[in-house]
Amino acid sequence: MSLYIKSSGFLYSLDTRVKWVAVVVIACIVLSIPIFTWAIYILLFSILFSLAIATQLPVKKVFHRTFLIEVPILLVLLPLPFVEKTPPYFFISWADWYIRISQPELLRILALMLRSWLVIFTMVLFTMTTTADKIFSSLIAFKVPAILINIIQLMWRYLALFSELARSMSAARVLRSVPSEKHLRNRFSRVGYNIKYTGSMIGSMLVRAFERSERIYQAMILRGFDGNIRTIQYPTMQATQFMQIGFLLIFGLCFIIGAYGINR
């Protein structure tokens, strides 16, 4: 399982440590500027989109990944306009029922969605142009605790294994179970049928994952695993990388100052 897409372009030529700084700078810009500074959001999106084009990435796949990650955030924020009581309101009526929606909270949700989407867009560009090995080894260069890197790296390496296990269990369920006629005829019954058996399948998969993780760990111990995962060693940063990092910091500072200037 890999998020990396092999291609050639501007972002592929950058050092991974510089990319990490760029991700942090963009996240700081998005989270520190006034929430309703729409011009900055549009400008940041234009820059990120131009980078995706310049790097020759498949734009459709980039947007697909960003929106896929954005869905859970939308589900969390969606109730806010109905729960908060900040006027003014507008109403949606149906028969004898009506729904009151707060306009300021609706705008706030839109701004929060844009903020999170810009950060996700940045991370997607980062992961699509950087291999997993380089990401983990760059974390070592930033002196991130080894135990944390080991947990993330092992989780990433065996995620594909458990994804394959989930697919095989799903195929086995389809081949070995035939829903009754009432489940096939009624849409809600069909949904309930799928939820019921999917829940039991997830529980079974968790038990299997725990057992397999124990076997994998024992196999690693027998093969000499001492708690450290060996990765490539990054060379010392050159003057070019320091200049790029300095440019990114100045870029972020100018954006933040400009945002507060626009918002007075």
Q: How many CA atoms lie within 13 A of 17 on its CB side?
A: 21
Residue 135 in domain: no
Stretch 13-21: mean pLDDT, rounded?
91
**Long-range pairs for 63-69 at CB < 8 Å and ≥24 separation?**
65/3, 65/124, 65/128, 66/117, 66/120, 66/121, 66/124, 69/120, 69/124
Q: Give me the domain span that covers residue 261.
A: 1-130+234-264
pLDDT tens digit sequence for 21-31? 999 999 999 98
Residues 205-249 pLDDT 10s: 788 878 888 888 888 888 887 777 766 666 778 888 899 999 999
Highest mean pLDDT among 11-25, 84-98, 153-167: 11-25
Provide the domain count of the chain.
2
> For residue 251, what are its two tokens?
């870029």
pLDDT value at residue 97: 73
Torsion of CA 219, 223, 227, 229, to 10 degrees: -100
Both 27 and 99 in one domain: the answer is yes
Distance CA 11, CA 49 (A): 12
DSSP conformation class of 143 = T
- The answer, yes or no, to whether the previous bond of 235 is cis (omega within 30 of 0) is no
187 pLDDT more than 70: no
Same domain, 183 and 84: no
